[in-house]
Amino acid sequence: MVRARAGISMSTGLSLDAASLPGQSLPWLQDFRADARVQYVAEGLPTVRSEEWRYTSLASLQKKTFTAVAPAASNQVADYHSQQLLADTWRIVLVNGQVDQRLSMLEGLPEGVRVMSMAAALVEHEALIHRYLGHAMAAIKHGFIALNSAGFSDGVVVHVPAGTVLDKPIHCVHSVSHAELMVNTRSLLIIEENASLQWLESYGGIDAEYLSVAITEVFLAENAKLIAYKQQTESSHAYHFAGMYCKQAPYSCFTQHHFALGGVLARSETHTELATAAECELNGLYLGAGRQHLDHHTQITHAQPHSISREYYKGVLNERSRGVFQGRIIVEQQAQKTSSMMANRNLLLSEHAEADSKPQLEIYADDVKCSHGVTVGQLDEKSVFYLQSRGLDEASARNILIFAFANEMVEKISHRPLHAALLTAVLTRFPKLAIQPVVG
Amino acid sequence: MLSIKNLTVNINEKVILNGINLEVNAGEIHAIMGPNGSGKSTLSHVLSGKPGYQITGGTIQYKGKNLVDMAPEIRAREGVFLAFQYPVEIPGVSNVYLLKAALNAVRKHQGLDEVDAMDFLSLVKAKIKTLDMDEKFLYRAVNEGFSGGEKKRNEILQMAILEPALCILDETDSGLDIDALKVVAEGINALRSSERAFIMVTHYQRLLDYIKPDYVHVLAHGQIVKSGGADLALALEKEGYGWLEQGQVSA
């Protein structure tokens, strides 16, 4: 077992680990990893001096020590997976950053659809991986991405051939079975012309401190469609970084529903670049309690005309938690007739909770429709009184209003088993709430 | 049923109600009229327990109990219902959910079993029909995106489901066109009974064309300056409230 420090000495850790990483025989991958390692050694983890990280300090993470090589999985992981089983899905499971085929369930996939581990794909489909790896995020390079590129241990590769539609989601379960582990995975979703994929990532692990780093690159060809769900239910002591970086060809459609519930410090990035008439919809809900720090960074680049983006993030922040939303929208000069709407709404339930919200619009075209709005507020006392005046006690009235605020995002989920799981997860965060779903 | 004695109420040290006396018995309809700023809405808010008012003197007895000491939800469960002048929009909470939660809160308080889903739906559907509302309102968020008239109808629907003993209607006629006014008035009239009392707070006599009050009280400067029968409302409609300012108050 190799000890590696997350922080300044991480460079040593990465070079020590390199021999155990997949794709050792591929010179291009060796170069790819070496470049990332050089960048990481030079820059380290991002700091608040960077505008994109100004609300999220990684100082506490810098001091931590993590183990980069996983011991065997424990029974706790099996327990975790049994809780994650969702009806009406295919399933691929990563335990401590390695695909575990025994826990996965991929029977009955449409012909030609490939769902495999990154390690296997590097052996069996090297050309495909070479063509795509690192290409969805060429312009975005911070320490976490470098760390991931240099040291990813595995991941999932999905390839949906042209015209193929998956009628139920593939559930990608990430789990961590041991304390002080750093897991680091890289995944690719390649969706060809007129194909359609539903992809659900869930993150969790034992009730301990660990670091989970996961990057997913998405390539949507013309008229392709992706609905991505992210269920972040990491341990309350865990550090989490996950990024989804997406390239959208003309007429493609990308929807993401993101639920950030766990982790002590979690950062999520979703970046996408839209070609002509492409569409994206990014929805997010973050529920903070204790001292949780939940950061969401989104970047939508309208690169070509007639593209559409819709973004809606909501946060409920209790106790000493902090929620961060940075939404950047770039409309390039040739991206005329862009339509873009962004909103971020925050509910603060404690005087010690904090919401930082920063919409950034950079518009270089002159014929566009763009709007954005941010609110940070408390529960509406008029609404509390209204419910009381109908016979509900004050605590129930408040809980119903908080739940209703959050539930708007849950109600967007049409996959019924996932909807039920998310509803349970959200209700668990409001333990005093003895209520049923309210808007049907 | 309701006995208000020498009630004085402040908002932020400012006297709003200055010695209100009012007796309301079961089966009666009382109209409280008066110009803007006379304290009409304050009276209805204080009766329903809205926070932000300081009761500086007097008593409010409801069915022999001290109403002032009750939390708003206890008043509701004891049968006091306020139909809001400005019903609140509550996104994410469906109408049908609120109706059921409210009815069960009231029933539980009265020692009754909670209604089951089927009985509840047939009850609601029957009531909603009498108010000329579409059933789809049940599944929409409470008052969200409702027109002014729809909001007021929704208040009356809640009242019809909860069957309160004391109904306080705060400017229920405001913002209603004549057709909506008729529907709302019919809904209220359908609830009239010898067991139930109404306090209708209104600026205009319009609503009283459709719901005939037993008593009319004129509120000015935080006091009831004149009381009478339904005729008093007609006189007010003719003369306006100007005479109050000229000190021509006579009992």
**Each residue's pLDDT tens digit, A246-300:** 999 999 999 999 999 999 999 999 999 999 999 999 999 999 999 999 999 999 9
Q: Tell if the CB–CB gap between A394 and B109 is shorter than 8 Å.
A: no
| Residue ranges of chain A whose CB lies within 8 Å of a chain B CB | 380-383, 385-394, 396-397, 400-401, 403-405, 407-408, 435-436, 438-440
Residue A351's pLDDT is what? 92
Asked whether residue B250 is domain-assigned, the answer is no
Phi, psi of B203 (to 5 degrees): -85, -35
pLDDT at A13 over 50: no
Q: What mean pLDDT do residues A188-203 have?
A: 98
SS3 A259: strand
Q: Is A129 exposed, middle or buried (0-12, 13-18, 19+ CB in 10 A)?
A: buried
Number of Cα atoms under 13 Å in the Cβ half of residue A74: 9
Please tell me the predicted confidence (pLDDT) of residue A275: 98
- How far is the C-alpha of A269 from the C-alpha of A324, rounded, in Å? 12
The kind and range of the H/E element at B224 are strand B223-228
The residues in B 108-127 lying below 8 A from A, measured between CB atoms, are 109
| Alpha-helix runs per DSSP H in A5-74 | 10-17, 27-43, 59-62
Q: CB-CB: which of B73, B88, B98 is closest to A393?
A: B73
pLDDT digits 0-9 by tens, A227-237 = 999 999 999 99
Q: Is residue B23 part of a domain?
A: yes
Which of A222, A221, A176, A230 shows the shortest CA–CA distance to A199?
A: A230
What CA–CA distances, in Å, run from A186 to A98, A214, A216?
A: 11, 6, 6
d(CA A300, CA A296): 13
Starting at the earlier edge strand, list the strands of the sheet with A354-363.
Answer: A114-117, A156-160, A182-191, A211-220, A239-248, A265-274, A293-302, A322-331, A354-363
A105-137, pLDDT tens digit by residue?
A: 999 999 999 999 999 999 999 999 999 999 998
What pLDDT is attached to residue A1?
35
Q: How far apart are CA A336 and CA A364, in angstroms?
A: 9
And the tokens for B123? 């009850």
Q: A396 contacts in B (CB within 8 Å)?
A: 101
Q: Quick one: DSSP state of residue A38?
A: H
Phi first, then psi, for residue A149 (nearest 5°) are -60, -40
Q: Which residues contact A3 (CB under 8 A, 6 or more apart)?
A: A13, A65, A67
Angle between helices A27-43 and A10-17 (to 10 degrees): 170
**CA contacts within 13 A on the Cβ side of A312:** 11
List chain A residues with CB under 8 Å of B93.
Answer: 400-401, 404, 438-439
What pLDDT does B180 receive? Answer: 87
User: In this predicted model, which residue has the larger pLDDT, B240 or A321?
Assistant: A321
Q: Please state, in angstroms and as integers, the Cα–Cα distance from residue A387 to each residue in A393, A400, B47, B162, following that order.
A: 8, 9, 16, 13
Is the pLDDT at A151 greater than 50? The verdict is: yes
Residue B182 has pLDDT above 60, yes or no: yes
Of A389, A391, A438, the CB nearest to B93: A438
Task: Give the count of domains, chain B.
Answer: 1
Question: Do B97 and A438 count as a contact with CB atoms less than 8 A apart?
Answer: yes
pLDDT band (50, 70, 90) for residue B251 = very low
Is B154 in CB contact (< 8 Å) with chain A?
no
A80-86: which pairs have CB atoms within 8 A and are 24 or more residues apart?
A: A80/A175, A80/A177, A80/A204, A80/A205, A80/A206, A81/A173, A81/A175, A84/A171, A84/A173, A84/A175, A84/A202, A84/A204, A86/A169, A86/A171, A86/A200, A86/A417, A86/A418, A86/A421
**Residue B245 pLDDT:** 65
Within a domain: B251: no
Residue A183 dihedral angles phi and psi, to the nearest 5°: -110, 145
- What CATH number does residue B68 fall under? 3.40.50.300
Contact B92 A386 (CB under 8 A): no
Within 8 A of A390 by CB-CB distance, chain B residues are: 76, 98, 101-102, 105, 158, 162
Domain ranges of chain A: 380-440
> How many Å apart are CA A362 and CA A328, to the nearest integer?
8
Locate the chain B residue with the closest alpha carbon to A399. B93
In chain A, what residues touch B82 (CB-CB under 8 Å)?
389
Measured in angstroms, the CA of A299 and the nearest CA of chain B are apart by 28
User: What is the Cα–Cα distance from A251 to A224, expressed in whole angstroms?
Assistant: 7
Query: Which of B90, B94, B105 minimises the CB distance to A383?
Result: B90
Task: Say yes or no to pLDDT of B58 above 90.
Answer: yes
Following DSSP, what letter does each residue of A311-352 receive, concatenated?
Answer: EEEEEEE-TT-EEEEEEEEEE-TT-TT-EEEEEEEEEE-STT
* Residue A140 predicted with pLDDT over 80: no
What type of residue is B78? E
- B126-152 mean pLDDT: 89
Convert the pLDDT of each residue in A166-192 to its tens digit: 999 999 999 999 898 999 999 999 999
Report yes or no on B51 lying in a domain.
yes
Contact B72 A380 (CB under 8 A): no
Tokens of A54: 């100004």
Between these two residues, A84 and B191, which has the higher pLDDT value? B191
Q: How far apart are CA B44 and CA B155, in angstroms?
A: 15
What pLDDT was estimated at residue B179? 87
Q: Hey, is the C-beta of B105 within 8 angstroms of any chain A C-beta?
A: yes
Residue A438 has pLDDT above 50, yes or no: no
Q: Say if the Cβ atoms of B76 and A383 lie within 8 Å.
A: no
pLDDT score for A332: 97
Residue B247 has what pLDDT? 54
Q: Which amino acid is at B247?
A: G
- At B113-124, the pLDDT tens digits run 999 888 999 999
Q: For residue B206, what are the domain limits?
A: 2-245
Rounded to whole angstroms, the Cα distance separating A60 from A45 reads 11
In Å, how far are A51, B35, B200, B212 from B13, measured between CA atoms?
Answer: 49, 22, 27, 37
Within A68-155, strands assigned E span: 90-95, 98-99, 114-117
* Residue B121, in any domain of the structure: yes
